Amino acid sequence: MGYYSPGHPERPQRIRFTLERLRGQKGLPITWREPLAVELATLERAHSKEHIGRLKAARYDFDSDTAAHPGIFDHARRSVGGGLQALKAARAGEIAFSLLRPPGHHAMRDRAMGFCYLSSVAIVTLEALATGVESVAVFDYDVHHGNGTENILLNKPNAAFYSVHQYPCFPGTGTRNVGNNCFNYPVLPHTPRLEYRKVLSQALADLTRFKPKLVAVSAGFDAYAHDPLAQETLEAEDFHWLGEELRKLGLPIVSLLEGGYSEELPDLILTYLKGLEAK
């Protein structure tokens, strides 16, 4: 997790400080596991061979936000492996959260962008479907639209995508539903938190009607009121509430870290996990 660009908000400290916070608390018992190894074929369900080749070469920056760091393919693949380990744990009945970077939900089938290289959540979804889970819903509450996940899961049988995000905002998509399985809930900047919660509730109600057997969560913490990259209004307790609402679905839940760039990120993650555990 050591790669970084000076001044970039998606920095190693996001994970390091969260690890310290989670290891230093006693209220929530946590079992730590390492990422699983990831086969190329698993990645290729979601991404083109050309895209994977470009990540391996890492010759040119993918855009001004998404640098070609040395070894970035291995970092991104490890992040996918964390998602797969979390999937395994969720299927075994555990509350599972993958605490790794880079995030993934902006990575498209054929393009890295927005700090993202491989769409971990889409890869986890397709892995679950390929290994016996009947239907999988992705719930993306990162403040940015999960355009990469949408791009990869569009019209895929037995998969559905629900994204609540600020619009206008990066990446500028997600204003309407797409295909037969991608549902978008754009929210204006500075929307009061109780209204924002109502939209999250609506998305979860719609997701329930899809009757998924497993929910993969793109867990981003940048709709937080003090996040530097967006203009929304959620407070720490709203992430606890989100965890509780997801728990109430009574389904296996696998969460993968996406964004969240405030100094309070470690506390927001802990409070979300407590919500998931009803603590």
Which residues are at the interface with Zn ion (CB under 5 A)? 142, 144, 220, 222, 259
Least distance CB 147 / Zn ion (angstroms): 11
Only one residue has tokens 């946590």, namely 30
Q: Give Rg (Cα) of the chain.
A: 17
Least distance CB 214 / Zn ion (angstroms): 23
Least distance CB 227 / Zn ion (angstroms): 8
Q: Are 265 and 273 in contact (CB under 8 A)?
A: no
Q: Which is nearer to Zn ion, 36 or 121 (CB)?
A: 121
Phi and psi (nearest 5°) for 112? Answer: -85, 140
How far is C-alpha 105 from the chain's CA centre?
Answer: 6
Residue nearest to Zn ion (CB): 259
Q: Which is nearer to Zn ion, 45 or 171 (CB)?
A: 171
Rounded distance, CA 147 to CA 165, Å?
A: 11
Q: Which is nearer to Zn ion, 127 or 142 (CB)?
A: 142
Which of the residues are catalytic?
A: 106
Least distance CB 165 / Zn ion (angstroms): 8
In the three-class reduction of DSSP (H, G, I as helix; E, B as strand; rest coil), residue 97 is classed as strand
Q: Which is nearer to Zn ion, 78 or 144 (CB)?
A: 144
121-158 core/surface letters (b: 16 or more CB in 10 A; e: else): bbbbbbbbbeeebebbbbbbbbbbbbbbbbbbbeebeb
Q: Which is nearer to Zn ion, 3 or 170 (CB)?
A: 170
Least distance CB 144 / Zn ion (angstroms): 4
Q: Are 273 and 95 in contact (CB under 8 A)?
A: yes
Q: What is the β-pairing status of strands 182-187 and 159-166?
A: parallel
